[in-house]
Amino acid sequence: MSALEFPDVEALLRAGNTNCAGCGMSIGLQWLDEAMGTRRPYLVIPAACAIVTAGAFPTSSYGVPTLASTFASAAAYATGVATVAALNEEPHPTVCWAGDGGTYDIGVATLSAAAERNEDILYVCYDNEIYGNTGGQRSSATPEGAVTSTTPEGKLERKKDMMAIMAAHRIPYAATLSIAHRDDFLRKMRLARDIRGFRFLVMLSPCPTGWKSSPDDSVGLIDLAVRSGLFPLYEVFDGERYRINVRPDGTDIAEYLQRQRRYATSALDLDVVRRRIAAQRTYLEAMAERFPA
Amino acid sequence: MARNLCTGNYAAGYALALAGEANRDARGCAGGAYPITPQTEIIEFLRGFRFTRGRIVPVESEHSAMGVCIGASMAGARAFTASSSNGLAYMTENVFAAGYYRLPIVLVAVNRTLGPPWNIWVDQGDSLALRDAALLHYYTDTHQDLVDTILVAFRVAEDPRVLLPAMVCLDGFVTSHTQMVVDLPEQERVDAYLPPCSVPQRMRHEHPATFGGLTWPRETELHRRQIEQAMQRVPIVLAEALDEFQRLFGRRPAGALVAEQTEDAETLLIASNTMAITLRNVVRERRARGERAGMIRIKQFRPFPRAELLQAIGTAKKVGVLDRNHSPGSGGIFWNEVATTLRERGLLVQDYIVGIGGGDVTPAVIGEIADDLAARTAAAEPLWKEVAV
Q: How many CA atoms lie within 13 A of B372 on its CB side?
A: 20
CA–CA gap between residue A124 and residue A2 (Å, rounded): 33
Beta-bridge mates of residue B29: B54, B78
Query: What residue spans of B75-173 are helical by DSSP H?
Result: 85-100, 125-128, 143-158
Beta-bridge mates of residue B172: none
Whole-model pTM: value is 0.97
The answer to whether B203 contacts A77, with C-beta atoms less than 8 Å apart, is no
Cross-chain CB nearest to B74 (options A62, A81, A110)? A81
Beta-bridge mates of residue A201: A124, A175
Give the domain ranges of chain A: 24-290
Beta-bridge mates of residue A96: A44, A123
Hey, what amino acid is at B261?
Answer: Q
The answer to whether A84 contacts B58, with C-beta atoms less than 8 Å apart, is no
At CB < 8 Å, which residues of chain A contact B?
40, 42, 44, 51-52, 54-58, 60-70, 72-73, 75-85, 87-88, 92, 109-110, 112-113, 116-117
CATH 3.40.640.10 given to domain A24-290 = no
CA–CA gap between residue A269 and residue A154 (Å, rounded): 12
Map residue A129 onto helix, strand or coil.
coil
CA–CA gap between residue B295 and residue B279 (Å, rounded): 7
The answer to whether A57 contacts B71, with C-beta atoms less than 8 Å apart, is no
Domains along the sequence of chain B with CATH:
2-249 (3.40.50.970), 257-385 (3.40.50.920)
Q: With contacts defined as CB-CB under 8 Å, which chain A residues touch B210?
A: 54-55, 57, 60-62, 65-68
To 10 degrees, what angle do helices B143-158 and B8-21 make? 30
Spatial CB neighbours of A2, under 8 Å, sequence gap ≥ 6: none
CA–CA gap between residue B109 and residue B43 (Å, rounded): 12
Among B23, B53, B57, B68, the strongest candidate for a mutation testing the A interface, having the largest count of A CBs within 10 A, is B68
Cross-chain CB nearest to A62 (options B207, B210, B216)? B210
The answer to whether residues A141 and A160 touch, using CB atoms and an 8 Å cutoff, is yes
Residue B221 CB-density burial (10 A; 0-12 exposed, 13-18 middle, 19+ buried): exposed
Query: From the CA of A31, how many Å to the nearest CA of chain B?
Result: 19
Q: pLDDT by residue for chain B (389 residues), tens digit each?
A: 688 999 999 999 999 999 999 999 999 999 999 999 999 999 999 999 999 999 999 999 999 999 999 999 999 999 999 999 999 999 999 999 999 999 999 999 999 999 999 999 999 999 999 999 999 999 999 999 999 999 999 999 999 999 999 999 999 999 999 999 999 999 999 999 999 999 999 999 999 999 999 999 999 999 999 999 999 999 999 999 999 999 999 999 999 999 999 999 999 999 999 999 999 999 999 999 999 999 999 999 999 999 999 999 999 999 999 999 999 999 999 999 999 999 999 999 999 999 999 999 999 999 999 999 999 999 999 999 999 87
Cross-chain CB nearest to A56 (options B63, B72, B213)? B213
CA–CA gap between residue A204 and residue A197 (Å, rounded): 23
Q: With contacts defined as CB-CB under 8 Å, which chain A residues touch B57?
A: 79-80, 83, 117
A6 Rama class: left (phi>0) / alpha (psi -120 to 50) / beta:
beta
What single string gives the DSSP state of each residue in B44-60? HHHHHS--SSEEEEE-S
Sheet holding B318-323: strands in order across? Answer: B257-260, B293-298, B267-271, B318-323, B348-354, B383-385
